Amino acid sequence: MEAENHTEASQFLLLGLSDDPNLQPVLCGEFMCMYLFTVLGKCFIFSISSESHLHTAMYFFLSNLSLVDICFTSTTVPKMLVNIQAQRKTISYIGCLIQVYFTMIFSGMDHCLLTVMAYDRYVAICHPLYYTVIMNPRFCGTLVLISWLIIVSVSLLHILLMRRLTFCVGTEIPHFFCELTQTLKVACSDTFINSIILNVATALLCVIPVTGILFSYSRIVTSLMRMSSAGGKYKAFSTCGSHLSVVSLFYGAGLGVHLSSALTHSSLQNSIASVMYTVVTPMLNPFIYSLRNKDVKGTRRRLLN
């Protein structure tokens, strides 16, 4: 019996957010609406970024962020909706690995893109005369390409380490998608090396971007303090308002997921915190840029007319 229980699993059970059958249609409707709003909002950003007068580094990074957010949400929500509709909770072993892999990639790319966007704002405010020279298309493309290469390599390392683990038959993951931390907790083999690599990678991929963002905004604040005109200060800092709001929402939701996982053992609370991070935050980003950015609002009016 012991040998049979430790046979490598071919599929997992995703416990989801609730076992109550009466709540399943409600959850399906809510997640479907949030997913559609996310896709429509990102398509709106794409249409805005295609405007000829908005072909700048800021909107190049914003369009990349929108693409990453769509892929991030599409990695988790459609599978959850399919499981609710089919009234099953299974996901194949390969499907779980794929979900873990792409979730890590798109989450990591969010960190990188928010960092390079902070650097873009720093150059625009602190070195406005050299902005077009520094933030040229080739340099912007190089920054995005390097980010992709780093994140893809780190995510691939995690997947290769996961492949050496074994999982018992009937393994249950207390989440609505295959999240790396939760998946490692239910492994039947030793995960010490995986945990070490995960902690190191998480520290580097969080500390370095946050440090870059804080450094950029510290220089921005210093530059603004030297300005004599109050109107100039407000105009310069208003260009950072949307980015600051998105950064606060993204890292606030991420911190909530980390604290929920560290301070409580409730799988439901962890899942709810993850919903904020993986679904709600990408959905709100286009609205934040639409409400706080004059160029976006002006282009939106022209598109609607």
Mean pLDDT of the 189-198 span: 92
Mean pLDDT, the chain, whole residue set = 84
For 28-59, the pLDDT digits (tens) are 999 999 999 999 888 878 777 666 556 678 88
Q: Which residue has the higher pLDDT, 170 or 72?
A: 72
Q: Is the distance from CB of 173 to CB of 186 less than 8 angstroms? A: yes
Q: Is the distance from CB of 77 to CB of 3 less than 8 angstroms? A: no
For 8-33, the pLDDT digits (tens) are 668 898 888 877 788 888 889 999 99
Cα–Cα distances in angstroms (integers) from residue 96 to residues 103, 162, 196, in the given order: 10, 11, 21
What pLDDT does 50 receive? 66
CA 294 to chain centre: 25
Q: How far apart are CA 291 and CA 289, in angstroms?
A: 6
Residue 88: is its pLDDT beyond 90?
no
Mean pLDDT of the 194-222 span: 91
List the single range of 15-19, 50-54, 79-83, 279-283 with lowest mean pLDDT: 50-54
* Position 68 in a domain: yes
Residue 305: is its pLDDT beyond 80?
no
User: Domain range holding 80?
Assistant: 9-304
Greatest Cα-to-Cα distance within the chain, rounded to the nearest angstrom: 78
For 225-276, the pLDDT digits (tens) are 887 777 767 777 777 888 888 899 899 888 887 777 666 666 667 777 788 8
Residue 145: is its pLDDT beyond 90?
yes
What pLDDT does 57 receive? 85
Q: Is the distance from CB of 205 to CB of 108 less than 8 angstroms? A: yes
For the chain, how many structural domains are there in total? 1
* Position 3 in a domain: no
* Position 2 in a domain: no
Mean pLDDT of the 119-123 span: 93
* Position 151 in a domain: yes
CATH number at residue 54: 1.20.1070.10
